[in-house]
């Protein structure tokens, strides 16, 4: 949409954009539900992957007992919840069930309108490869989810932090892709002031550092690294944790040492705040259009709020409600970073 479009064409593009934004909101909520599932230790409660009949929860006491017995065969039950009864199992089961069903709903909400738009020839040709790519990414994400869950059915009490982080990263990538396409469709092709190349680079750096920080948060969650060193700004009195380099080889500390993984997340959060802060400061005097200035201000405010949420989540030793807000804040921050990056992108790069 590098040039102005007719009212009819824009109305059609707006409808497609609303569909993509709906999918974006569902993916964002999926990330939050996934966070709740992880925080409540619910992710291994469903030991079977049933793509077709998995919509149906246990409907009888006999079926509840069957799925509970399967769960009692897992190492998580033996190591972490050896005394759990059926009622306790139902609590964790429902969160994992909601997580899986929500993922299937996203597939339907994306796939069925896509078929309708294609049949009605409402989708412009340059957009089709992007939507096909998203369709395959969504299916691939489902496979990654089961691959992640399977990692917990060995002699351990959690899923692999590596697979969890990959699962999270793909979800965030899908969210960014959906938002980029939707924002481009909503633009009417209006004139936009040229932005300095340095400012564009800063907008990309902000989105990139936010993405990497989210991935590091996945590592923190994957090994429960938020439950130690619950002081700030120092880590139990020091700039570095005492066991920063406890593992060998050294690089392994950044993935499996609880203290070092948390330290890495802190440093990446600070880096994101610095890059976003520099961007916001420079954007104020760059002569950007009103909408771009508004997005920059929202981004700056969200970075500050996210830092506050992260600090209190740490200090209060990861209460579920605050941890969920922190994860949701990360999603909002990344969405704003994508929007901000779009606003500064050259028209050809910003639109498909």
Boundary of a domain, candidates 190, 223, 238 = 190
Boundary of a domain, candidates 190, 213, 246 = 190
pTM across the whole model: 0.93
What is the mean predicted confidence (pLDDT) over 267-284? 96
Please indicate, yes or no, whether residues 95 and 213 belong to a single structural domain of this protein.
no
Please indicate, yes or no, whether residues 162 and 47 belong to a single structural domain of this protein.
yes
Residues 232, 325: Cα–Cα separation, whole Å: 19
Domain count, the chain: 2
Please indicate, yes or no, whether residues 282 and 143 belong to a single structural domain of this protein.
no
- Residue 347 predicted with pLDDT over 80: no
pLDDT in tens, 168-215: 999 999 999 999 999 999 875 554 557 888 999 999 999 999 999 999
Please indicate, yes or no, whether residues 164 and 201 belong to a single structural domain of this protein.
no
In terms of Cα–Cα distance, which of 244, 227, 193 is closest to 347?
193
Please indicate, yes or no, whether residues 185 and 216 belong to a single structural domain of this protein.
no
pLDDT in tens, 226-267: 999 999 999 988 999 999 999 999 999 999 999 999 999 999
Boundary of a domain, candidates 149, 171, 190 = 190
Do 145 and 169 touch, CB atoms closer than 8 A? no
pLDDT confidence band for 8 (50 / 70 / 90): low
- Residue 157 predicted with pLDDT over 90: no
Tell me how far CA of residue 142 lies from CA of 50, 101, 138, 145, in angstroms.
11, 11, 7, 5
What is the mean predicted confidence (pLDDT) over 282-309? 94
Please indicate, yes or no, whether residues 106 and 239 belong to a single structural domain of this protein.
no
Please indicate, yes or no, whether residues 10 and 75 belong to a single structural domain of this protein.
yes
Please indicate, yes or no, whether residues 227 and 329 belong to a single structural domain of this protein.
yes
Please indicate, yes or no, whether residues 205 and 138 belong to a single structural domain of this protein.
no
Q: DSSP for 174-237?
A: HHHHHHHHHHHHH------PPPPHHHHHHHHHHHHHHHHHHHHHHHHHHTTGGGS---SSSBTT
Residues 110, 137: Cα–Cα separation, whole Å: 12
Residues 188, 115: Cα–Cα separation, whole Å: 25
Domain of residue 23, residue span: 1-190
Please indicate, yes or no, whether residues 183 and 299 belong to a single structural domain of this protein.
no
Q: How far is CA 161 from the centre of its chain?
A: 15
Please indicate, yes or no, whether residues 106 and 31 belong to a single structural domain of this protein.
yes
What is the mean predicted confidence (pLDDT) over 30-44? 94
């Amino acid at each position: 949409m590098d040039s102005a479009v007719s009212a009819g064409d824009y109305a059609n593009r707006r409808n497609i954009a609303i569909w993509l934004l709906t999918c974006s909101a569902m993916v964002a909520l999926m990330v939050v539900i996934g966070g709740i599932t992880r925080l409540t230790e619910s992710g291994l409660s469903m030991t079977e992957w049933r793509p077709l009949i998995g919509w149906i929860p246990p409907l009888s006491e006999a079926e509840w007992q069957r799925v509970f017995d399967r769960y009692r065969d897992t190492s998580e039950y033996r190591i972490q919840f050896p005394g759990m009864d059926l009622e306790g199992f139902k609590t964790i089961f429902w969160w994992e069930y909601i997580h899986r069903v929500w993922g299937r709903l996203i597939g339907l909400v994306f796939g069925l309108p896509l078929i309708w738009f294609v049949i009605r020839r409402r989708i412009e040709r340059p957009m089709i490869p992007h939507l096909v790519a998203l369709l395959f990414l969504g299916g691939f994400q489902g496979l990654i989810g089961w691959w992640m869950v399977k990692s917990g059915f060995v002699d351990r009490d959690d899923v692999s932090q590596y697979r969890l982080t990959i699962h999270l990263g793909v979800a965030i990538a899908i969210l960014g892709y959906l938002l980029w396409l939707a924002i481009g469709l909503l633009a009417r092709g209006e004139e936009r002031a040229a932005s300095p190349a340095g400012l564009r680079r800063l907008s990309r750096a902000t989105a990139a550092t936010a993405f990497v920080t989210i991935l590091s948060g996945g590592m923190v969650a994957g090994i429960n690294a938020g439950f130690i060193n619950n002081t700030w700004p120092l880590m139990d009195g020091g700039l570095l944790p005492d066991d920063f380099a406890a593992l060998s080889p050294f690089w392994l500390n950044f993935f499996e040492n609880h203290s070092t993984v948390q330290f890495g997340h802190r440093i990446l959060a600070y880096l994101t705040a610095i890059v976003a802060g520099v961007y916001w400061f420079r954007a104020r005097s760059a002569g950007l259009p009103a909408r771009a200035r508004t997005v920059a201000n929202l981004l700056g405010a969200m970075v500050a709020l996210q830092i506050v949420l992260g600090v209190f989540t740490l200090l209060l030793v990861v209460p579920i409600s605050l941890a969920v807000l922190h994860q949701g804040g990360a999603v909002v921050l990344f969405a704003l970073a994508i929007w901000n990056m779009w606003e500064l992108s050259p028209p050809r790069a910003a639109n498909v």
